[in-house]
């Protein structure tokens, strides 16, 4: 593979203007040219990483070292290096939601994030997220019997926390739509719904 590290100028004798095709191209080029400031000096930048490398991940308030390959997912690091086994490996494509974690506060699927792509991000797993608000989300799940085999539960707990942080006064329809990214094969949805409704109303323990 060509290992070019810098863009070379067009080989032919055309001027730059020649390469702007389509209505609005010149205006779009202006936007692209003026977007973004100086690249940060400490950013990973254009470095190509191959093979094993040691990285630092910021997980649950701690900086932790992991040895990863480019193909290593965040879920694999959490489970097999950090022993944070709450996030579950269910679906390769993240469609189950069982590996939901918070990345800079937003719910994402650890199974579809490469570990290298979340350097510099704040990662929170269910082990930390479930403690928030005095553990109100797990308490509601227990109160309303919102799990059966429990395998999907950690993903649900993180998703519920992220959903409630953004939608504290959600309606039932909004809860159903908002938690659509988590799948429970036991079919505990009705009880999960009741638990979240209780949390919106002030929690099972007030």
Partner 1 sequence: MNNFAYAQPRRLESLLALLSPTPGETEVLAGGTDLVGLLRERVLTPERVVNVCDVEELQGVHEVPEGGALALGAAMRLDELHEHPLLESYTALHQAICGLRSLQYQAQSTLGGELCRRPRCWYFRAGHGLLADGGRLIREGDNRYHAIFDNAGPAKFVSASRLAPALIALDARAVLVGPEPEYLSVVPLEELYQTPIDESQRETILQPNQVLAQILLPQADASAAVASAAYEVRHGEGPDDPLAAAAVSLQIESGVVRQAKLVLGQVAPTPRVADTASRLLVGHAVDQLRAEAAGRAAVADATPLSRNEYKVQLAEVAATRAILKAAGLATGGFDE
Return the residues of window 114-153 that contact partner 1 according to CB under 8 A. Answer: 114, 116-117
Among 178, 188, 192, 196, binds partner 1 (CB under 8 A): 178
Q: Does 187 bind partner 1 (CB under 8 A)?
A: no
d(CA 199, CA 154): 17
Which residues within the stretch 70-99 sit at the binding site for partner 1 (CB under 8 A)?
Answer: 70-71, 73, 91-95, 97
> Cβ closer to partner 1: 16 or 206?
16
Q: Does 37 bind partner 1 (CB under 8 A)?
A: yes
The span of 26-34, 80-88, 131-139, 196-204 binding partner 1 (CB under 8 A) equals: 26-34
d(CA 206, CA 198): 9
Q: Are 126 and 101 in contact (CB under 8 A)?
A: yes
Q: Minimum distance between the CB of residue 133 and partner 1, rounded to whole angstroms?
A: 18
119: how many CB neighbours lie within 10 A of its CB?
14
Burial annotation 142-169 (CB, 10 A radius, 16+ → b, else e):
ebbebbeeeebbbbbbbbbbbbbeeeee
> Cβ closer to partner 1: 64 or 176?
176
> Cβ closer to partner 1: 138 or 178?
178
């Amino acid at each position: 593979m060509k290992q070019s590290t810098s863009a070379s100028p067009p080989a032919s004798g055309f001027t730059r203007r020649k390469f702007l095709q389509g209505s609005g191209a010149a205006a779009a080029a202006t936007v692209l040219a003026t977007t973004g400031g100086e690249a940060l000096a400490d950013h990973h930048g254009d470095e190509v990483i191959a093979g094993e490398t040691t990285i630092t991940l910021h997980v649950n308030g701690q900086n932790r070292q992991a040895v990863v390959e480019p193909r290593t997912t965040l879920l694999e690091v959490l489970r097999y290096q950090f022993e944070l086994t709450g996030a579950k490996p269910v679906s390769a494509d993240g469609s189950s939601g069982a590996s939901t974690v918070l990345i800079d506060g937003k719910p994402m699927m650890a199974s579809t994030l490469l570990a290298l792509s979340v350097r510099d991000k704040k990662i929170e797993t269910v082990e930390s997220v479930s403690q928030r608000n005095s553990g109100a989300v797990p308490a509601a799940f227990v109160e309303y019997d919102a799990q059966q085999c429990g395998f999907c539960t950690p993903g649900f707990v993180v998703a519920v926390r992220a959903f409630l942080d953004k939608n504290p006064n959600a309606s039932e329809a909004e809860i159903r739509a908002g938690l659509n990214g988590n799948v429970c094969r036991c079919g505990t949805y009705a009880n999960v719904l009741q638990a979240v409704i209780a949390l919106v109303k002030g929690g099972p323990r007030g």
